[in-house]
Amino acid sequence: MSDINAGTGATGEGTGNTADTDAGRDMGSAMGQDTGSALREDAGRPTGRATGQDAGQDTGGTTEHDTGHDGGRDAGSAMPGDTDSATARDTARDAGDADILVIGGGMAGASVAAMLAGSARVILLEAESQPGYHTTGRSAAMYEPTYGPRAMRALTRAGLDFFTNPPEIFGEGPLISPRASLFVAPEEERALLETTRDEVGRDQFEDLDAEAIRRAVPVLKAGYAVDGALNHGGSDIDVARMHQGFLRMLRAGGGTVATDARVEALTRDADGLWEARTRKGSWRAPVVVNAAGAWADQLGEMAGAEPIGLVPKRRTALIVAAPEGMDVQAWPLVVNAAETWYMKPDAGRLLISPANEDPQMPADAQPDELDVAICIDRVMTACDLDIRRVESQWAGLRSFVADKEPVAGWSDVVPGFYWLAGQGGYGIQSAPALARFAAAQLLGRPVPADIAAEGLDAAQLAPGRLAGAERFTG
């Protein structure tokens, strides 16, 4: 029926400072329960609750397994054994429960599933009861086109139109609202800031001297920053609305979402059909998209695919009160050139982070008490802020491969297995363009012209560039 491309790269077929320690536990559990916090929802950061609940309402019951788990088994076993023949692939396509199984319901999985839905039969399998529970629900919600390595920046730029004019199904108005970003340098970080200017392009920034920096963010200590680079192209993203919009778009295109469906085994039979087994049942399709976030290398191992050397790195964030009597809403995001702390307004309060990148095995990440203390210390060193109480705190895993660029492309080892991983700290801002790129490859189409025009080519994202990488084991 559909024009999906069950190819592989190999064959060329497809193409408080009372740092209230309880706050961590509260927040951690709140991710899956009701925090009742208007703050987090207002901030556009979907807690597990915010995205999950809506998704549950929309998807629960109706979505789960209406597609008939186990439904493909009989048809699959009746198929011919010639996996290389086009006939076998076509038969496999017709025999499965879907054309494409997308594994992982965070921003990556939801966005690619949505982009595919009109052209292929898509089933999204999510381990948790609430899609968005892991990294997607824990971001700082920034669209910052000067942030990240080259291909990430190109994807971020290519997504601007989508953020500004999303499809109607996302609701009214843009998904972003302006928020400038200010990179600041104390004397010892001057050279680093110069490097950022050189790499990103000097025309992207307004240069600020010490006085102008303090006018922009009056809470910065006099004498802290001697040089500043202000980018006016950044924005806050309404992450919850965006994620929900993709899930709605998926369903409107005939796709389904199965929650509580952790894929525990992934095998491909002689007829070219993948079978994803979960405790809720099994689903079959000729193509699998690995959008499992921090778990992507583990899912790859399950499928017999090559390792991409993905390392999940924990990052912690805290919400603290704004200084008494100050309206912080118009402040830019402030980050030091060495990226050892940042701060941004968040619904009348301040979101602060030690910008940590602590490697750990995939899990429901929790903030470490030491990270919280370091965060407060760094922010109080740079700013005249008296942080006595942490209102909430959380941690999430930003997962990187060696070059910090995303991995999007067919496995070189197993047919019909597509990688969509390694979005690191940029997976929200890059999602619309990255999903379009991945959907085009999955459907056997060329790189969308506007994405190519940003200087991005498929080889920059292909898993093949990571040949020889080893699986991270902690």
Ligand X SMILES: Cc1cc2nc3c(=O)[nH]c(=O)nc-3n(C[C@H](O)[C@H](O)[C@H](O)COP(=O)(O)OP(=O)(O)OC[C@H]3O[C@@H](n4cnc5c(N)ncnc54)[C@H](O)[C@@H]3O)c2cc1C
Enumerate binding residues for ligand X (CB under 6 A): 103-109, 125-128, 133-136, 138-142, 262-263, 291-295, 299, 315, 317, 396, 398, 423-429
DSSP state of 446: P
3-state secondary structure of 401: coil
CB neighbours of residue 343 within 10 Å: 28
- Angular region, 61: left φ>0, alpha ψ -120 to 50, beta rest: left
Q: How far is the CB of 135 from ligand X (least distance, A)?
A: 4
Nearest to 317 by CA among 372, 361, 360: 372
Nearer to ligand X, 204 or 360 (CB): 360
| Least distance from ligand X to the Cβ atom of residue 296, Å | 8
Q: Which residue, 273 or 292, has its beta carbon nearer to ligand X?
A: 292
Cβ at position 109, least distance to ligand X in Å: 6
Closest approach, Cβ 110 to ligand X, in A, equals 7
- Kindly state the helix (H) or strand (E) to which residue 385 belongs, with its residue range: none
For ligand X, the closer of residues 141 and 213 by Cβ is 141
Supply the minimum distance, in Å, between the C-beta of residue 239 and ligand X.
8
3-state secondary structure of 23: helix
State which residue, 30 or 294, has the beta carbon closest to ligand X. Answer: 294
- Cβ closest to ligand X, residue 35 vs residue 135: 135
DSSP state of 428: T
d(CA 287, CA 53): 29
Long-range contacts, stretch 460-463, CB < 8 angstroms, 24+ apart: 460/150, 460/151, 460/405, 461/151, 461/405, 461/406, 461/407, 461/408, 461/409, 461/437, 462/9, 462/407, 462/408, 462/409, 463/9, 463/306, 463/308, 463/407, 463/409, 463/410, 463/411, 463/412, 463/419
Nearer to ligand X, 45 or 93 (CB): 45
Distance CA 186, CA 400 (A): 28
CB nearer to ligand X: give 43 or 79. 43
> How many C-beta neighbours within 10 Å does residue 188 have?
10
Nearer residue to ligand X within complex by CB, 7 or 425: 425
C-alpha–C-alpha distance, residues 458 and 440, integer Å: 11
Cβ-based nearer residue to ligand X, 59 or 139: 139
Token pair, residue 260, equals 């509580």
Q: Which is nearer to ligand X, 257 or 440 (CB)?
A: 257
Q: Which of 296, 302, 312 is nearest to 278 (CA)?
A: 302
**Phi (first) and psi of residue 142, to 5 degrees:** -105, 140
- What's the first-to-final CA gap in the chain, in angstroms? 43
CB of 323: closest distance to ligand X in angstroms?
23
Largest CA distance in the chain: 75
Q: Which of 89, 315 has the CB closer to ligand X? A: 315
For the CB of residue 90, give the shortest distance to ligand X in the complex, in Å: 27
Residue 275 CB, nearest approach to ligand X (Å): 13
Cα dist. 34→47, 176, 300 in Å? Answer: 9, 26, 33
Q: Min. distance of Cβ 108 from ligand X in angstroms?
A: 3
> CA-to-CA distance for 210 and 18, rounded, in angstroms?
31
Residue 194 or residue 358: which is nearer to ligand X going by CB? 358
Least Å distance between CB 299 and ligand X?
Answer: 5
C-alpha 283/C-alpha 72 separation (Å) is 7
**Other beta carbons less than 10 A from residue 165's beta carbon:** 12
Q: Which alpha helices (H) appear in 359-454, and where do they start and end?
A: 369-382, 431-442, 449-453
The answer to whether 52 and 128 have CB atoms below 8 angstroms apart is yes
